[in-house]
Structure 1
Amino acid sequence: MHDHPAFHSRFGGLWIDRADWRQQVTARHLNPAQAAQVEFFAENGFIIFEGAAAPEKVDAFRDRIMTSFREGNPDVRYQRHGSHVVQPLDGPADRLGVRIVDSFVPFQEALDLFSSPELLAFFQLIFDANPLLFQSLSFDQGSQQGLHQDTAYVVVDRPIELAACWIALEDVKPGAGELMYVPGSHRLPDWDFGSGNKHWDSMTDGAETHEKWARHLVQHAKQSPHGLQYFFPKKGDILVWHADLAHGGAPVIDPARTRQSLVGHFCPQGRTPHFFNTDPHLSTVRHHGPLAYCSQHYDLSRQARARAGRTPGSQRKQDGFLSSLAAFRNAMRNRSS
């Protein structure tokens, strides 16, 4: 791996990660609002856009999620907390303790949220390109995941050309397993897991170096003048964080409280998520306006072929069948209640 002296990290980064990023702000003739956003993000590793997600779009997405868990929806795929097994939502299920993966595939409402104008404009600003959404998670309860940096697990061909967002689907109160983060931690020196990569490989690097890294992040949080901060957003607020910002989920103190959220991971269009190499059949990219998206859990090429093979008549028949099926399910549910 060649060093990149113009960047904070030897793995390179976005233009805001260059040593001369302040000069870049001037050279790019950013307007005052853009310059202020870049300065805050480059120094702190995160930025908050208050009320950036329209309430009606938040409600539309939440309604789709609630209906899917109430009635079942095999197009939705989810994991239980602590499990890597992805399974279809074949029937009614409890939303608590699970997370939905890549909800932007079955629900356009998720794409609408990820296309919120302020969010999209900021990604375009720091990426110098339109964004590619390649992973998302939706939670009702906090994950309680310890402090970590996304670059250890979320892999693209240029490791630090990555950013993520957290969209609040409701007001979040203390004790709900709220998002926590350490401002400025995105400028920590690169951690060497042992293989020379930015990401951790459980097979080649082993568990010990991973545990040392996790303890290192906790120790830094204790020593940092910024300390550990917590995100208590209002519905519609969006937090964007840098690829290397140390963050996690606080402990759930009150199990009755939720922190409904939608998280997305993005890279510039033109970059390559790791699963493009391991599973080439999942490398299909589709577009929702300027936003591109792909998924490691859905074969978008197969979906496109299936849609192309449908005639208008067959689509109407399928829609009619699904409507009849939903009516039958509701009738049986009412009979049993």
Structure 2
Amino acid sequence: MKASGNQRPTMTYKKSAPPLTEEQIAHFDTHGYLVIDLGLDENFIAALLTKVESLYPDDRLQNPTAPARVQDAWKTVDEVRQLAVLPIALAALEQLFGRAALPFQTLNFPIGTRQLTHSDTIHFNSIPKGFMAGVWVALEDIDASNGPLQYYPGSHKLKEYTMQDFGLEPGYENYRHYETHIQALIEAQALTPEFGTIKQGQALIWHANLLHGGAAQTDLSRSRHSQVTHYYFENCTYYTPMNSRSDKPHFRNPFWIPATHDFDLPDVGRLAILRRIARSLGIKTA
């Protein structure tokens, strides 16, 4: 079983001095999450929000219940990229996982997600397992009424459930059935949720196997601006469990979010054409 993957970045990320105490590391190990203060400047946050706002759907203010998010805004909004590679976040992740963190995806939200409970290990995983994390940054104060993150402390210690564990075929078309099984698991385990009511500039780091989702947003007149960055870690192979079988992982070849603003994006269209040509010639590709 062989994967072709961008396993080592060509750039060097800046990291701060190790920011976490032994108590904070122990909290993460026990509960599967940790809240830290990133020390963000208010002007930086304001600039990020202003630039990302133009990327959201035009009608979102007329329909506050409609889902709205922007994936990988780091490609066009440099403040999003800067937040994804923030030295204190990278240093904290390295303390928690013992390997250098590699950011590969950003998601920006203007409102609460109301996303059903899941584990990120159904979307992203690694070989060896366990080297993936999410960092959710509050870009404004978040409380119980504007749609906080909902998570289940300690659930990261459960097994990593796959589609096959629930008798499901791989593929996003079966994801809603996965969500149903996860909800049944929560009820069977009598798990109790907590909520990410954190202040602007704070971040909640979660373990990939922590069960989490988006709580209801009861005040639809309010925003809930936030950014999620997903990270893998160095010296791993990466794959998508939702599209995998136990004997056939669906490998990923992440493009790491650049450490600096002067970068070139890969020519995805050209790569796709080359892969199709290779497959037509019987050459295996990722």
1:249 paired residue among 202, 214, 231: 214
For structure 1, which segment, 183-192 or 159-168, has the greater mean C-alpha deviation from structure 2 after superposition?
183-192
- Which residue pairs with 1:58 in the alignment? 45
- Which residue pairs with 1:149 in the alignment? 119
In structure 2, the CA distance between the partners of 1:301 and 1:35, relative to structure 1 (3 Å rule), is same
In structure 2, the CA distance between the partners of 1:53 and 1:263, relative to structure 1 (3 Å rule), is same
CA drift of 1:206 comes to 7.8
CA distance in structure 1 between the aligned counterparts of 2:71 and 2:19, rounded to whole angstroms: 37
| Contact 1:136/1:265, CA 8 A, preserved across alignment | yes
- Which residue pairs with 1:201 in the alignment? 170
For residue 267 of structure 2, give the secondary structure of its aligned residue in structure 1: helix
CA distance in structure 1 between the aligned counterparts of 2:169 and 2:91, rounded to whole angstroms: 31
CA drift of 1:37 comes to 2.1
CA distance in structure 2 between the aligned counterparts of 1:262 and 1:54, rounded to whole angstroms: 15
CA offsets 1:176-221 (integer angstroms, 9 cap, x no match) = 1211111111111343532699x9823797865652233212443x
CA distance in structure 2 between the aligned counterparts of 1:53 and 1:150, rounded to whole angstroms: 26
2:102 paired residue among 132, 137, 146: 132
CA distance in structure 1 between the aligned counterparts of 2:72 and 2:176, rounded to whole angstroms: 28
In structure 2, the CA distance between the partners of 1:216 and 1:266, relative to structure 1 (3 Å rule), is same
- 1:42 paired with 2:12, answer no
Amino acid at match of 2:222: R
In structure 2, the CA distance between the partners of 1:121 and 1:145, relative to structure 1 (3 Å rule), is same
CA drift of 1:272 comes to 3.8
For structure 1, which segment, 106-115 or 153-162, has the greater mean C-alpha deviation from structure 2 after superposition?
153-162
Amino acid at match of 1:182: Y
In structure 2, the CA distance between the partners of 1:204 and 1:166, relative to structure 1 (3 Å rule), is closer
- Which residue pairs with 1:118 in the alignment? 88
- Which residue pairs with 2:149 in the alignment? 179
Q: How does 1:4-19 map to 2 (within 5 A)?
A: none
Normalising by the residue count of structure 1, what TM-score does the alignment of the two structures yield? Answer: 0.61
| Contact 1:163/1:266, CA 8 A, preserved across alignment | yes
CA offsets 1:276-325 (integer angstroms, 9 cap, x no match) = x9798x75445316x9x9xxxxx92239x9xxxxxxxxxxxxxxxxxxxx
Normalising by the residue count of structure 2, what TM-score does the alignment of the two structures yield? Answer: 0.71
| Contact 2:38/2:203, CA 8 A, preserved across alignment | yes
CA offsets 1:246-269 (integer angstroms, 9 cap, x no match) = 111011212112211000110113
CA distance in structure 1 between the aligned counterparts of 2:255 and 2:158, rounded to whole angstroms: 34
- Aligned-residue sequence identity (percent) comes to 25
CA distance in structure 2 between the aligned counterparts of 1:111 and 1:206, rounded to whole angstroms: 29
CA distance in structure 2 between the aligned counterparts of 1:101 and 1:32, rounded to whole angstroms: 28
Question: Would you say how many aligned residue pairs link Structure 1 and Structure 2?
Answer: 241
CA distance in structure 2 between the aligned counterparts of 1:168 and 1:180, rounded to whole angstroms: 14
In structure 2, the CA distance between the partners of 1:279 and 1:162, relative to structure 1 (3 Å rule), is closer
CA offsets 1:102-122 (integer angstroms, 9 cap, x no match) = 111111101221233321211
CA drift of 1:65 comes to 1.4
| Contact 2:140/2:224, CA 8 A, preserved across alignment | yes
CA distance in structure 2 between the aligned counterparts of 1:121 and 1:170, rounded to whole angstroms: 23
- Which residue pairs with 2:259 in the alignment? 288
The structure in which a higher percent of residues are helix is 1
- 1:238 paired with 2:203, answer yes
| Contact 2:150/2:196, CA 8 A, preserved across alignment | yes
Larger Rg computed on CA atoms: 1
| Contact 1:195/1:205, CA 8 A, preserved across alignment | no
Which runs of no fewer than 5 residues in structure 1 stay unpaired? 2-30, 70-77, 79-88, 294-298, 306-337
1:217 paired residue among 163, 180, 186: 186
CA distance in structure 2 between the aligned counterparts of 1:215 and 1:264, rounded to whole angstroms: 28
| Contact 1:152/1:200, CA 8 A, preserved across alignment | no
2:60 paired residue among 55, 69, 94: 94
| Contact 1:153/1:200, CA 8 A, preserved across alignment | no
| Contact 1:134/1:273, CA 8 A, preserved across alignment | no
For residue 98 of structure 1, give the secondary structure of its aligned residue in structure 2: coil
RCO greater where, 1 or 2, for CA within 8 Å and sep 6 or more? Answer: 2
CA offsets 1:72-109 (integer angstroms, 9 cap, x no match) = xxxxxx6xxxxxxxxxx7xx553653100011111110
For residue 25 of structure 2, give the secondary structure of its aligned residue in structure 1: helix
In structure 2, the CA distance between the partners of 1:38 and 1:254, relative to structure 1 (3 Å rule), is same
